[in-house]
Structure 1
Amino acid sequence: MGTRAKKLSLKELYQAIYEKGQASKPELAQDFGVSLTAVSDYVNQLESLGFVESKAKGTSTGGRKPLLYQVTPGFRYIVGVDMRVTHFYVFLSDVTGNLLHTELIHVNKDYYTYVTALAQNIQYILARFGLDKKKEQVIAVGICISGVTDFEHKVVDLSNELGWLDRPLALDLEKALGIPVFVENDARVYARNEINMEETNNVVTVLYLSRGVGLALVIGDRVLQGYNNRAGDSQFFGRDIDKIYHVIRTCGLFQEINDLPYIKLGAQPQHIFDLNQKFMRHVEENPDIKDAVEVFSTEVARMMIAMANVVNPKRILLTGNVFDYF
C-alpha cells in the first residue's frame, strides 16, 4: 500500500534538514509520512534554489547509498547583536552557525545615538563581506537586550539598563537597513537555544541572571510568549532581592565587572582567576554585600525549586553574565 499524499511545504522540509544536520530523501519521506517521490520533488526544488546541497552518502540498506542533504552554509547569513549599556557586540554567521565575524563597539546609551551606531556598524560589516549589495542573502538581524520586549511588535517596552521606554528599536533599524529585524529579551534568547524539534515533550525553564532577572519557559518546540508577548520578563522576587540590585548599581567592583566585554571560554584564564579572587575578597570584606549575595542566591534557588515543583521541567538552565564572574 503506497504512502498517502500529504501537503508538505518547502519551509518545513528545509527546517527539518537544518535541525537534523544531514538527511536522506528516504529518511525525510518517513519522517513526514509522504511518498519518496513527493519528498524528492521538494528536495530537488530546494537544491535548485541553492538552499540545500548534497555532500555525502548515507548507509545503504541494500541498494545504492542514498545522498545526504544539508543546508548550504554560505547561501544565507544572519546578523546577531548583543546590547549592553556601554557597548554592543555584532556577530555575522551563516545559517549553519559558522561564525564569520565579531565586533565590539563602544557607544553612548542615548537611543538615537545607539540606533545610528548599530545601523552604521552593521552596514559596515555587510559591506566588508559583500552583502550590502545582496541583502536578500541576509535572513534577519536578531537583537538581544535586557528588558521588557514585545517580540511581535518589535518594540522595547522597557529597559532599565539602558533607560529606554517604548522604543520601536527593531522597526527603526529595519528602516535604516532594509533587512528584517527582531528584538528579544535575554532570557528568551537563551530559551530558544533549548528548543529540540525532535523532542515533542520538551519542557525547559531558563533563569537568566544579569543586572536583572529573567525567566523563560520552553514547551515543546516553542518559547512561551504569553498573551501580550511578554512572558519571561519576570520581576516577582521578594522584597529583599532589591538588595542585590542596589549593590550591582552602586558597588564600584560590580560596575567594573558588568562593564567588561565578554571573554571567550578558555581565554585569559589568569585574568578570570584574579577577577574571581578579587570579587570573593571584596564580598568577604563587606558584610552588607555578602548578605545581599546570599539573599540573592537563596531566592534564585527557591525559584528553581518552585519551577521544578510547578512545571516539572526536564531541564533547568541557569545562565547569564553574572555567573561568568561568580
Structure 2
Amino acid sequence: MARLLVLAALALLAPGLAASAEFSGRGVFAFASGSGCPIAAGTGENCNRLALDDEDTRATLDEATHTLRFANGRSYDGKRIVGDVVLQGSGRTADGQRVPLSFHALLSRSGSDWSFSSHAHAPVRGEFSEIRIDPWQLVVGEVGGERVLFSSAQVVEALAKPSLTARLADELVQVRDNRESAARDADITVGLGVSKAVKWVARTRFVTTRNRPLAEAMREGNWSLELQALSGQIPRQVVQRDLFLYGLESQALLQPLLQRGFRKNEKLTIGATGGKGFVRYDGQQREFAGADATARGFLQGSFLGLVLGWQQQQLQPVALDVKAGSNGR
C-alpha cells in the first residue's frame, strides 16, 4: 500500500500541479523541490524527503497550501522518533556564492505529545541571504485541533541566521579536507571537539574514474561512495536509522551492521561499475540495484553527504569551514 501511495504522490506532484497526497506505512518518500536540488540542475526534482518511522504515523502533503500534516493516534511509553522532513534550497554567502542548503526537522512522540528539533545543513559556515526554498509549513494533529510546528518564515530564518545554540554546536563539528593538490574526488573526515581534543569519527569519500564531476560520474555509472568508521562509538541507533533512511536496512549483507553498528575502521561502500550497482561490506560484495538512489539520498539528505557532494563539484581543493546541524547530520 505504501508503494502505491508513493507512486500516486509522485504523479500528482508534477511541477505546477496543485494536489494533495497521503503517505502511510513505514518508509521514506520523495517529493518535488521547486527550488532546485544539491546535485541536480533545474527545478521540480524529487529531492525533498518525508520519512515515516513506524506504521502508526501518517502524513498528508497539500501542494496547494504548501502544508505537511502529520497524524499519529498512538501513545508511546517513552520518547520515540516517528518521522522527519528534509527541505532543499539554497542561499548566497557573504562573498556572493550560491550554495545548497537543507532544512532538517526531526519529529518525535512521547506519550501523546509531539516534539521536534530542527537544524540547517550547509557546506560552508556563515549567514546566508537571498534564500530560495519552497514555502512549506509543518502541522501536527492534536486533541481538539492542529498545531503548527514550524512555518515557512521560520524555515527561512533557520537557514539564513542559525541560532546561538546552533552556532555553538557548529564549533564542535570539525571537517577536514583530505584531498591532495589538484585532486578532485571528494574526501573528508568529520570529528567532534575543538583544537587538539577533536575525536575523529568517520571518513567519507566519493571516488570516480579520472576525477569526474559528481553528476557526470553517476550518469555514466562508474563511481563509489565509501564510509569508514574511525570510532567504534557511533551510536547503534544512529546507524540503524541511516540504513533505514537510505534504503539499506533490508540488505542481507548488512544485517550484522544493522544489529550491532559499526566497529572501528569498518567500511561500507555503495557504488556502480559499468552502470551496475553494488554494495560492499566486511570483505564481501553484492549486486545492488538501488545503489544510485541510496547515494543520491545520502548526498542530498545528510550533512556529510551535502558537504561531500559540494566538494566533489569544486574544481580545486578548498579549505572547508562547514556548518552542521546540532546533531551533525
* TM-score class normalised by the smaller sequence: under 0.3
Q: Which structure has greater strand proportion?
A: 2
TM-score under structure 1 length normalisation: 0.22
TM-score under structure 2 length normalisation: 0.22
